[in-house]
Amino acid sequence: MDILQIVIVSIIASILFILLKDVNPTFAFFIVIVVGIMIFASVIGQIRLIFQVIQSLGDQANVPGLYLETILKIIGIAYIAELGASMTQDAGLQSVAKNIELAGKIFILLLAIPIITSVIEAIVSFLPTV
Amino acid sequence: MLTDISVLFQIAGIGIIVALIHTILKQMGKEEIAQFATLIGFIIVLYIVINGLRDLFNQIKSVFLF
């Protein structure tokens, strides 16, 4: 989908949201969710292309697959957590949004543990043994 | 997959019609049936949205999480 189409869809969605807000707030919130899904679904194909390029570059540079995979997973977790947090925030649940963000951070940290340990091991191997 | 804009108009239309039915049934004094109409409309839209959400999450899983 083009950027113009995305903007037009968002404008139409905001008009429908204003129309529905007073009549039926539940359905107005569904419109917000659907617009989020539509925009991300139109973008995800391009993200897939970018990731393929990144992976082929990494293969050429002989970067271990574990690192690239971890980084891509972290990006994915960050995006999903952001999506959920902003949607719950739109629904007025601030504390749930905060908790989703916290969970996202924890999972990212969990994924980063192998990289952190390998970095620390590398540093320790540089240190002269007494 | 929710890539068609007609889904938006569909949801907005269902919302307006359900609100209309609710008002009319309330005027007729049938409070419970009005609640049921709202609930059914809600379930229909929820079905559409959940299907779209499932497709989106499957795609996210296939792109980001392998």
pLDDT tens track for A59-77: 898 887 778 888 888 888 8
- The reported pLDDT for the residue numbered A101 is 94
ipTM for this model: 0.80
What distance in Å separates the CA atoms of residue B2 and residue B55, rounded to the nearest whole number? 8
- The reported pLDDT for the residue numbered A62 is 84
* Residue B53 CA neighbour count, 13 Å, CB half: 15
What distance in Å separates the CA atoms of residue A81 and residue B39, rounded to the nearest whole number? 29
CB spacing of A28 vs B15 below 8 angstroms: yes
Question: Tens place of pLDDT for every residue, chain A, 130 residues?
Answer: 588 988 999 999 999 999 888 888 888 888 888 888 888 888 888 888 988 898 888 889 888 777 888 888 888 889 889 988 998 998 889 999 999 999 999 999 999 998 889 889 999 998 887 6
- The reported pLDDT for the residue numbered A1 is 56
What distance in Å separates the CA atoms of residue A119 and residue B9, rounded to the nearest whole number? 53
- The reported pLDDT for the residue numbered A83 is 87
Q: The whole model's pTM is what?
A: 0.78
The shortest CB-CB distance from B2 to any of A20, A38, A48 is to: A38
Polymer length of chain B: 66
Chain A to chain B, count of Cβ pairs less than 8 Å apart?
97
Encoded tokens for A99: 């908790």
- The reported pLDDT for the residue numbered A108 is 93
B39 part of contact set with chain A, CB < 8 Å: no
The shortest CB-CB distance from A73 to any of B3, B7, B64 is to: B64
The shortest CB-CB distance from A24 to any of B19, B57, B59 is to: B19
> What single-letter amino acid sits at A52?
Q
- The reported pLDDT for the residue numbered A98 is 95
A109-112 long-range CB contacts below 8 Å, 24 or more apart?
A: A111/A70, A111/A73, A111/A74, A111/A77, A112/A70, A112/A74
Contacts B42 to A, Cβ<8 Å? 26-27
CB spacing of A20 vs B12 below 8 angstroms: yes
* Minimum Cα–Cα distance from B58: chain A residue: A41
- The reported pLDDT for the residue numbered B64 is 76
pLDDT for B21-62, tens place per residue? 988 998 988 888 888 888 998 999 999 889 988 988 888 888
User: What is the pLDDT of chain A when averaged over all its residues?
Assistant: 88
